[in-house]
Chain A
């Protein structure tokens, strides 16, 4: 039986390492900005309704619900991430 060199495998490994993963911080910031934007549009819609402008109440309700759902999702994800972090912190190596 002939023993093969590992060179090919090493090259393959290096090539896979060159593909950089998407920046986690960028993803996080983009989603945070999106949630914040939704919150702002919902508040703007409520202000418009209070001022008596010609705006559909259904549209206001939809914007509020959208902002609500986004905020809830963000909070859940944040809590999960913190839980995972604490789990890793408690891990014994």
Chain B
């Protein structure tokens, strides 16, 4: 029904979810800045987005009992990028984490705002077009 708009919605939804995930990871890095033996966690945002977009053309399901590819693979992707915690000295740099936190927040907000603008325009077209 939505056509091209559905693709945009899906992409933005996934993007916002990943940004939230990343925000949590960086926050935990900041919280553990003095913990001995803590390894910093992060997920490479662009890599996940790319691999998700390239495998978007997955198998069609014709039966409700068929495996759903997408959900499982996305969770696997997020989990597989978290490095192991080993008994090594911690490698968290406070300034670096703060910088990436701010950058992540900025991009999250701008993505959300652009989506809101797009939806606002759609609503305006629907209401104005009926006059």
> Which A residues form the contact surface with B (CB < 8 A)?
42-43, 45-47, 49-53, 57, 60-61, 64, 67-68, 71-72, 75, 79
Contacts and interface: CB of A to CB of B under 8 A. Distances in A.
B53 to A, nearest CB: 7
Interface in B31-80: 45-46, 49-50, 53
A33 B117 CA distance: 21
Contacts, number: 63
Contacts of A52: 15, 45-46, 49, 107
B11 interface: yes
Given A50-B8, A51-B15, 7 more contacts: A43-B8, A46-B12, A50-B14, A57-B110, A60-B114, A64-B117, A68-B117
B46 A50 contact: no
List the 8 closest pairs (A to B, CB-CB), nearest first: A50-B15, A52-B46, A57-B110, A46-B114, A75-B128, A50-B12, A51-B49, A50-B11
Contacts of B11: 47, 50-51
A45 B118 CA distance: 12
Interface in B64-114: 106-107, 110-111, 114
Interface centre among A43, A50, A57 (most CB of B within 10 A): A50
A75 B129 contact: yes
By size class, the interface of chain B is 20 to 34
Contacts of B110: 49, 57, 60-61
B114 A61 contact: yes
7 contacts: A46-B114, A50-B49, A51-B11, A51-B46, A51-B50, A57-B107, A60-B114
Interface string B1-28: 0001101100110111000000000000
Contacts of A71: 121, 124-125
A72 B117 CA distance: 13
A46 B45 contact: no
A45 B115 CA distance: 11
Contact of A49 (B7, B114, B121, B125): B114
